[in-house]
Each structure stands twice: as C-alpha cells, then as structure tokens.
C-alpha cells in the first residue's frame, strides 16, 4: 500500500492527511458519530458548528425556533470535548467549526480542548440572528474583528482555519491576503455559484492551504477544484460514503499516475499562480508577461526565481529543450519528445518530474508571497487571462 504522505504530501498539525477530502460542518448534523460513519473516506472532518458564547448560543436558540437544526448545549465546551474524544482514534483529523463574537470565546474552547484539533472560525453563517450577534458572516464585513480572533488563536498556538463564503466580502482577493497575513493556516471557502474563477483569485492571493467547497459530488468536480488551486476539497450535503469513496479513489489514481494530485493547468489554459512552474522563459507574446505584471513580479525576478530554485536539481539541465533547462518545460501531460529526452538523460520519470515541479512551484510561491506581503495582486477579472 502506498503511504498517504507519499501520495499527497499533506501534513496539518504534524499529522499526515490520509486523503485530501474534508467533511464540511453542518450544524445539527456533522458530529462525531456522523464522522465515524465516514471515517474511511475522509482525511479531515469539521464538526459543528458550535456556538461558544452567550450571544451565539442565543442566536442558535432563535435559529432552532425557526426550524433549523443546531447543536445547542448549555455547556458547549463539555459537548465539544466529548465529541473530540470520540474521534481520537478515528484516523481523521478533527476540526471544530466554532461560532463566537470575541477572541476569548474561541480561546476558552482552545484552553479546554488543546492543540490537537483545527480551530475553524465560522465566518460563513448567514442566518440573521447569528450575523446580528456579531458572528458568522458578520466577520467578513468586519475583518479587524476576524483578524483579532485569528491572532488570538495563533498566539495561543492553535492551527486555524477560516470558513468563508465567497462573494460576501467586497473583495475576496484582499480578504484572502489578510487571512494569510494575519497568520491563519487554512482558508476554507464555500464558492457558492462563483466556481473556479473565484478559487483561482483566492489562490493567487494567498500562500496557505485552501479547502474548496460547494456542490462537489464527484471526482470530476473535485479535479476541477484541484487544478484551479485547491489543496483539499470538502463536502457537506453530498457527503455520503458512495460519493466520498468515488472521489477518494479518483484522487488516489491521479496522485499515483501524475505525481502531483492537484497540479495546476498551464497558465495559458487558465492555470493559477502555481502554474508559473510550467511557464516558458519570459520572451514571447503570451499570457505570461501580463500575468507577471499583474502580480507585481518583473520578468527578471521571475527568471531568477526559477533559475535559483532549480540550481543543483535535476530540473536545471535540459539541453534538448526549448530553453536549455527543464525549469521552463511544460506539464508531463503535454506530449513533448524534447523534454522527454532530457528527462531520460536525468533518469527522471514523469511522476518524479511532476513532483520536482511541485517543489519548484512551492519555492516560486514563497519568493513571490514573501516579497508582496499584504498586497492583493490579482482580482477576479485579472485572473481570467
Ligand atoms: C444544514 C446545513 C448546516 C450548515 N451549518 C454550517 C455551520 O454550522 N458552519 C459552517 O461553516 N457551514 C455550515 N454549512 C455550510 C456547509 O459547510 C457547506 O459550506 C455548504 O453546504 C456548501 O457545501 P456543499 O455543497 O458540499 O453542501 C451548513 C450547510 C448545511 C446544508
Ligand atoms: S509562458 Fe508558455 S506556458 Fe506560460 S502562458 Fe506563455 S505559452 Fe503558456
Ligand atoms: S521542450 Fe517541450 S516541454 Fe519543454 S518548453 Fe519546449 S515544448 Fe515545452
């Protein structure tokens, strides 16, 4: 059996993620028993949402009265602890989807539950009672408040995810940049009807893990998310075992065959920022130079990032290729005898080649994001090059 780390190279909180599939929280539904019934087909599960303080518990009660299922408890921390302990040996990484108005509401849970789980801030709930209480979607319109909660959790030592709903903020690109800047580990985005263009916009503006969500119900839909910037996909309404296991099997085949389960499309085919790893030298009229311009990277910087990143690796040579180095070469799925000749010389299989390109893309991303901390670069329309 192939090791999950070898397939996906995904680690959160020091633990390998078995498969890049998450269960999305659904209040009143996604609890430990729900997760245990699906544990063989997911890598992460966000249980909840749980209301953690007086205003959100009050809002939850109102929501329940109007017919919504909720996980309500007068002692939410005791409930959460019990649920977390049921999942301890499940092999699934546990995340807590939490509603709260103040940093302290989240810190109280952290102090009781500890570092082993992911703390997901519910900035997604649109129910008027919750928004009126100052939680859920309210945080997307009041980013200073959201930033304060992220900071408090990070200072305490938590792994933090922020669950957002696309299209609520006036500027999702800026929101993604802020969430990254403040130190969150994960953006979990419900893309609503915006699809992969929005996902790409978020990918192009942050360098943290992205969980893509909404209406994913088969491997094709998951693959579309992966090739536009998602590291993980999450399922709510369609998270039955038949659907989950079909997606899991598809991703596993993709990872084994290609070597990079969420490789981006080429830039000229709609790829996101990671696809710079497959772009040519910046010498011709094509989408590369306008894209570099939009993300604030000069052609020389792009050139240097790539050359320096591949120095001393098997991607550095490439006599038979267009630009004399495999650094500038296309995806393995694009047939090319010249590239393959160089790969043969370097004794690199297509799978190893793609793994090396993943490393290259990580290094380019790091250089770009280190240099532009906090400056959102690519809006949605820009991303449509
Ligand atoms: C009944 C129900 C309850 C939900 N409760 C929450 C919640 O408490 N917190 C949250 O962040 N998202 C909540 N969501 C949103 C889901 O996590 C998910 O983002 C949304 O359903 C879209 O994904 P899907 O198409 O895979 O279902 C809820 C969704 C449903 C249907
Ligand atoms: S540099 Fe090459 S791969 Fe990149 S956009 Fe231009 S033609 Fe496409
Ligand atoms: S050698 Fe082939 S793979 Fe490399 S840049 Fe040229 S066309 Fe693309």
Q: Is 322 in the pocket of ligand 3 (CB under 6 A)?
A: yes
Average of per-residue pLDDT across 92-104: 98
Could you tell me the two tokens for 67?
């017919």
**CA gap 63, 80 in Å, rounded:** 20
- pLDDT tens digits for 207-253? 999 999 999 999 999 999 999 999 999 999 999 999 999 999 999 99
Q: Is 331 in the pocket of ligand 3 (CB under 6 A)?
A: no
**CA gap 366, 332 in Å, rounded:** 23
Looking at every residue in the chain, the average pLDDT score rounds to 95
What percent of the chain has a predicted confidence (pLDDT) above 70? 96
Site to substitute for ligand 2 among 287, 294, 306, 385, most atoms within 8 A of C-beta: 287
Q: How much distance in Å is there from the Cα of 209 to the middle of ligand 1? A: 19
Average of per-residue pLDDT across 158-174: 97
**CA gap 354, 226 in Å, rounded:** 15
Residue nearest to ligand 3 atom 6, measured at CA: 322
Place of tokens 């119900």: 217
Q: Is 321 in the pocket of ligand 3 (CB under 6 A)?
A: yes
Q: Is 286 in the pocket of ligand 2 (CB under 6 A)?
A: yes
Q: Is 190 in the pocket of ligand 1 (CB under 6 A)?
A: yes
Average of per-residue pLDDT across 169-181: 96
Residue nearest to ligand 1 atom 1, measured at CA: 26
User: What's the pLDDT band for 385 if we cut at 50, 70, 90?
Assistant: very low
All structural domains of the chain with their residue ranges: 4-258, 267-383
Q: Is 299 in the pocket of ligand 2 (CB under 6 A)?
A: no
Residue nearest to ligand 2 atom 3, measured at CA: 279
- pLDDT tens digits for 309-358? 999 999 999 999 999 999 999 999 999 999 999 999 999 999 999 999 99
DSSP labels for 162-184?
Answer: EEEETTSSS-HHHHHHHHHHHT-
Q: How much distance in Å is there from the Cα of 236 to the middle of ligand 1? A: 6
DSSP labels for 68-136?
Answer: ---B--SSHHHHHHHHHHHTTTSSSEEEEEEE-SSHHHHHHHHHHH-TTSEEEEEE----HHHHHHT-T
What is the position in ligand 3's atom list of the atom closest to the CA of 280?
A: 5
DSSP labels for 346-377?
Answer: TT--HHHHHHHHHHHHHHHHHHHHHHTTT---
Element (H, E) at 6: helix 4-8
**CA gap 139, 105 in Å, rounded:** 14
- In CATH, what class is 4-258? alpha beta
What is the position in ligand 2's atom list of the atom closest to the CA of 330?
A: 3
Q: How much distance in Å is there from the Cα of 253 to the middle of ligand 2? A: 27
Q: How much distance in Å is there from the Cα of 303 to the middle of ligand 3? A: 16
- pLDDT tens digits for 283-297? 989 999 999 999 999
Is 0.85 surpassed by the pTM of this model?
yes
Q: How much distance in Å is there from the Cα of 22 to the middle of ligand 1? A: 12
- pLDDT tens digits for 50-88? 999 999 999 999 999 999 999 988 899 999 999 999 999
**CA gap 381, 80 in Å, rounded:** 42
Could you tell me the two tokens for 296?
């604030």
Q: Is 87 in the pocket of ligand 3 (CB under 6 A)?
A: no
- For residue 124, which ligand has an atom nearest its CA? 1
Q: Is 328 in the pocket of ligand 3 (CB under 6 A)?
A: yes
- CA nearest to 49, candidates 64, 39, 36, 38: 64
Q: What is the pLDDT of residue 379?
A: 57
What is the position in ligand 2's atom list of the atom closest to the CA of 287?
A: 5
């Amino acid at each position: 059996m192939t090791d999950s780390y070898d397939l996906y190279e995904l680690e959160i909180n020091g633990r390998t993620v078995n498969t890049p599939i998450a269960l999305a929280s659904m209040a009143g539904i996604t609890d430990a028993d729900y997760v245990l019934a699906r544990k063989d087909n997911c890598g992460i599960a966000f249980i909840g949402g749980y209301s953690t303080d007086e205003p959100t518990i009050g809002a939850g009660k109102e929501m329940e009265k109007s017919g919504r299922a909720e996980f309500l408890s007068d002692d939410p921390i005791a409930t959460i602890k019990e649920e977390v302990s049921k999942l301890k040996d499940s092999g699934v990484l546990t995340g807590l989807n939490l509603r709260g108005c103040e940093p302290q509401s989240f810190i109280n849970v952290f102090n009781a539950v500890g570092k082993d789980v992911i703390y997901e801030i519910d900035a997604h709930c649109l129910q008027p009672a919750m928004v009126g209480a100052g939680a859920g979607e309210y945080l997307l319109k009041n980013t200073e408040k959201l930033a304060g909660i992220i900071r408090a959790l990070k200072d305490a030592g938590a792994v933090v995810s922020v669950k957002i709903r696309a299209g609520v903020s006036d500027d999702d690109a800026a929101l993604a940049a802020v969430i990254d800047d403040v130190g969150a580990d994960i953006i979990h985005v419900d893309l609503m009807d915006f699809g992969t263009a929005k996902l790409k916009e978020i990918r192009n503006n942050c360098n943290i893990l992205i969980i893509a969500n909404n209406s994913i119900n088969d491997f094709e839909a998951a693959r579309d998310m992966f090739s536009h910037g998602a590291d993980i996909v999450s399922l709510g309404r369609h998270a039955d075992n038949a659907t989950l296991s079909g997606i899991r099997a598809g991703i596993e085949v993709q990872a084994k065959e290609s070597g990079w389960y969420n490789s981006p499309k080429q830039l000229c085919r709609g790829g996101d920022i990671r696809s710079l790893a497959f772009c040519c030298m910046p010498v011709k009229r094509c989408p590369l130079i306008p894209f570099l311009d939009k993300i604030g990277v000069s052609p020389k910087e792009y050139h240097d990032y790539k050359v320096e990143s591949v120095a001393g690796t098997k991607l550095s040579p490439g006599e038979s290729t267009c630009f004399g180095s495999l650094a500038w070469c296309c995806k393995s799925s694009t047939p090319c005898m010249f590239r393959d000749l160089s790969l043969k010389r370097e004794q690199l299989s297509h799978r190893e080649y793609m793994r090396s390109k993943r490393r290259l893309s990580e290094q380019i991303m790091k250089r770009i994001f280190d240099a532009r901390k906090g400056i959102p670069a690519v809006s949605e329309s820009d991303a449509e090059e």
